Amino acid sequence: MSEFIYTKKRTKQYNGPLNSDDHNARIEENYKDLVYLYNKYNIFDQKLSEAFERVLKDHVFINQYIKDMDDRIQALESNESLISIHSLSQIDVTATPEGELTIQADELLTYDPAYNIVTLPKIDGSSHSKVKFFTPTDGQVIPDFFETRISNSLPGVDVPGCTLDSNNIYNSILDRSDKFWKRSVITDAVSPYGAQTYVYVKIPSEYSGSKKCNFFKLNPFPTFGVDILSIEYTTAQDPTLSETDTWIPLNRDRVYDGDSEAIGKVPPGGWSTIGSDAILNSGPIAFYFAELDITAIRFIMRQKNYFIENGKYIYTYGLSDMDIRYDKFLPTGRIIFKFDAPQGTLINSITSVTPKIFNVSESLLSDVFEYRVIYNDGSVYSEENPGSSNTVWIEVTLNQLPDGTAPVLSDLIINYN
């Protein structure tokens, strides 16, 4: 809608109409401006209502998650000989031993603060999304060949014929803060299964001419209020986005099978015990994997929480962001993290440095991860331990596997005396 103003400025003496035609014209112009303002108000009101609903529902679940995180932090802090990565401010690539060059920009590992992961230096010019499309003139667009499907064939309240309040799923791939996909199921009764559905997304090779993918991310809505039960892919030549396609767990190698610490760090749906790797109350999640020729991907979302409005039970779930990508990396890279001892304590020596890398099997960790400890003695950085210190630096080197897997570091556990 343009910002055109219909009512014209009149410079006639006393600003009054000269005849009935002029009077009627001004009334018509005033009417058009009032209609424009009324429509503009309705658009703003709708956007504010949607934003308020999103903030309200996100706030409820974030509040619950913060309480859980507080409990976890207290448990970690009770172990005074353990520190880990917790902030972007810990990156300090200038802390190199005397005589060495600082880490150059092209060898600096990629740190993603939204997902709190570190991986190899990304080559942006050779990396691209498989579902987000842009043009020089129109910016981001939704092409005709973008194809998705919702299959509500799972137990629960989200079944064929249910009452829905939903917008279009393509909102989940738009890079705009006011756009997100929301699916609300309105019911008269609750279900122990909650609301759950399959979401299918086709990978359009028409865009890039390649089916290769190595990255998948989801930002569930509401944040920390939705369960992600499985993530699978197919290599079918012309996928139908249905059960008839052959679906393979994204974690097809079952890495860290049964390791509870890996839940949320590995794509769910691949472990030998069904459901044991489900990501409950999921926040934003992202997974790098070995290059695969993927034609479609599907995942199961579940919402077991509900709001009560006007005597109805409302289960709401959706996505604020989704992306499937092929990212190109340099084969190796480095980064330096700064670690401060907890208040009132000193670090005498580092006893171990344990990486948390869950997209590489444990037997290959030594191939992809190296580190060294750097100390500071006055103004000089060195690998020589000067004794008790308030701070140490850990230089991390990551290496790519022969199959193209870019290792993802989600944390470092530092044990010290």
Decide if 341 contacts 391 (C-beta within 8 A).
Answer: yes
300 by DSSP, 3-state: which? strand
Alpha carbons within 13 A on the beta-carbon side of 290:
10
| pLDDT score recorded for residue 15 | 57
CA angle 290, 291, 295 (to 5 degrees): 125
C-alpha span between 96 and 223 (Å, rounded) = 39
| pLDDT score recorded for residue 362 | 94
Task: Look at the pTM and tell me if it is higher than 0.95.
Answer: no
> DSSP class of residue 297?
E
Ranges of the chain whose pLDDT falls below 50: 1-2, 60, 71, 75
Contacts of residue 215, defined as CB under 8 A and 6 or more positions apart, other chains included, come to: 286, 287, 288, 289, 323, 324, 325, 326, 327
Identify which of 406, 408, 411 has the alpha carbon closest to the alpha carbon of residue 332.
406
Strand partners, 266: 263
DSSP string, 187-203: ESS--TT-EEEEEEEE-
| pLDDT score recorded for residue 11 | 61
20 by DSSP, 3-state: which? helix
| pLDDT score recorded for residue 54 | 55
Q: Long-range contacts for 259-262 (Cβ within 8 Å, ≥24 apart)? A: 261/356, 262/358
Residue 19's CB: how many other CB atoms inside 10 A?
8
Contacts of residue 5, defined as CB under 8 A and 6 or more positions apart, other chains included, come to: 33
C-alpha span between 283 and 252 (Å, rounded) = 23
Task: Determine which helix (DSSP H) or strand (DSSP E) holds 47, and give its type and residue range.
Answer: helix 20-77
Task: Determine which helix (DSSP H) or strand (DSSP E) holds 141, and give its type and residue range.
Answer: strand 139-141
| pLDDT score recorded for residue 1 | 42
